[in-house]
Structure 1
Amino acid sequence: MNVIEKLLTEMRNEMQEKFANIENSIAKSEEKITANIISNMNEKFSTLCGEVNSLRTLTEEQEKRLNEIEKKSVQRNLVFFGIEEGEKSYLELEEKLHKITKEKMKLNISASEIESVRRIGIKGIKTRPVSVTFTTLGTKIKILKNKKLLEGSGLYIKHEYPAKILKIREDLKSQQKLEKEKGNEAFIRYDKLIITTNKKKTSNKRPPSSSPLQSHDESSETRELLKTTKKHKVNNLITEYMKPSESTSTEVTDRSMTA
């Protein structure tokens, strides 16, 4: 019996050793397979990230070009508010504009100086403003120089902006109001809010806790330019990508120029 028990013990030990070797071999194979899979995924993910970054750069460049095109498309435009509706044709609306510029603004604007006139918005209860495109920037400037002559007439003029810029300017108005309440000079230039702080007036006051961007003038004033920037971050490894992402940082948006 002792011999049999000894043989059984040896067989059991041998089997256990073989099982252990098999388990180790499987574990090593799994590690190797996993490492290869992750390596391949990282390589493909890195390539994909590069393509995404290229597409993002291309999109940003195209957006800049589009914004520039939109800006230039209304560069020679002015919007007239308060012109009574009721015209039955394009020529009648153009005639109304000629009458205003001649009788109220003391300007002799010829038909060749006006490229187009059109009402903006949907016809309803309120009088729709009139968008006017001039053939030259000089004519637009000439109109703006005499816009004070419209005071008290119920008519007024503003620059025309693309729809996106109008939204930005509208959002900046509340911030502009807050800056003025602080005693700062603030005005909107196109899509940016320009803030001018007078050091003499604010020297005894506690300085603001934070400011997105500051640059100093040669005089005793400090100009603050606020601009929204969205920071994009793309990890090159999928293992990093799977980690909790950091929140995108944003800065306060600057926007636009008042008429």
Structure 2
Amino acid sequence: MDMQMILSKIEEQFEKQTSLITDNVTKKLSATIDEKLNPLLEENQELKKEISSLKSKLQNLERDIRRNNLIMHGVKETENADVIDLVLKTLNIACEKAGIENWDKWEISDARRLGKATPNKIRPILISVTLAWRKTQMLKNKKSLPQNVYISEDYSKDVLNKRKELKIQQQEEIKQGKQAYIRYDKLIIKEKPSEKRKRSLSKSPKTPHSAESTYAAQTKICKTKKLEQMNRARSNSFSTPTANKQ
């Protein structure tokens, strides 16, 4: 019995020492790891910020590059035909229909088909214009383009995917009676202005106590008094007895 008790105490003491050693080693390892990891974590955070900033700058740069671009769809491909001439012809058809000034060749800096040529498929045309306001003018009059031909903004794939997602949300907002439109890759939502009823100006009834009626009455009285005074003066002049001749 004594030996068993001694052994049990030894085992108990051994377990305590093992636990203590484990805790100390764990704490030391944790402190060492934290000491070495913290600079790495801070550096990682700084790198993430720099990457985010660079990504934002690249997106802005790409947006600036595409700012004066248009994508024209539906213009049939013709062999040995200059793409710029095709674009000019198509745009000017819309200009004549819309009653705006025709395009000159210098207003288009570049025009080229996108993608590889494949049978029975019309490739879109990327158009780079020299004047931003002409691009805006054409977008406003795009309904005047020939049948089956349309133009759109030049967006990146990321922006196009984002706009597709926003269109679903836009439709939901419109169903709820709100004004919603997509500007680049942002959805703008506004409350519809409430229709204000036009208040009809009701004419106040003319009462004898109103200022206008009082002024008119006073004017009438003054005129009447003047007429009476004039009549009295005339009657007095006629009724004055003349001196008797002696």
Given the two structures, how large is their TM-score scaled by the length of structure 2? 0.65
Q: Quick one: which amino acid aligns to residue 29 of structure 2?
A: I
Which residue number in structure 2 is paired with residue 45 of structure 1? 37
Within the candidate set 36, 47, 62, 1:55 is matched to 47
Are residue 85 (structure 1) and residue 88 (structure 2) matched? no
Matched, 1:138 2:133: yes
User: Whose Rg is larger?
Assistant: 2
Provide the rounded CA distance (Å) in 1 between the counterparts of 2:148 and 2:15: 90
Question: Is residue 67 of structure 2 the alignment partner of residue 72 of structure 1?
Answer: no
When residues 104 and 21 of structure 1 are mapped into structure 2, their CA distance, relative to the original with a 3 A threshold, is: closer
2:87 is matched with which residue? 97
Q: CA deviation at 1:143?
A: 3.0
Deviation readout 1:1-42 (Å, 9 max, x if unpaired): xxxxxxx96x99888777765554443332211110111122
In the superposition, the TM-score normalised over structure 1's length comes to 0.62
Q: CA deviation at 1:183?
A: 2.0
Higher relative contact order (CA 8 A, sep 6+): 1
> In structure 2, what is the equivalent of residue 186 of structure 1?
180
Paired with 1:100 and 1:47, the residues of 2 have a C-alpha distance of 61
Q: How many residues align?
A: 190
How many Å separate the matches in 1 of 2:54 and 2:138?
33
Could you tell me which of 116, 119, 125 is aligned with 2:113?
A: 119
User: What does the per-residue CA deviation read over 1:142-174, in whole Å, with 9 as the maximum and x for residues that have no partner?
Assistant: 433543432x63322221111211111122222
How many angstroms apart in 1 are the aligned matches of 2:20 and 2:61? 61
Q: Secondary structure at the match of 2:128?
A: strand
The one-letter amino acid of 2:130's match is: T
Q: State percent identity of aligned pairs.
A: 28
Whether contact under 8 Å (1:187, 1:194) holds in the other structure is: yes
SS, match of residue 80 in structure 2: coil
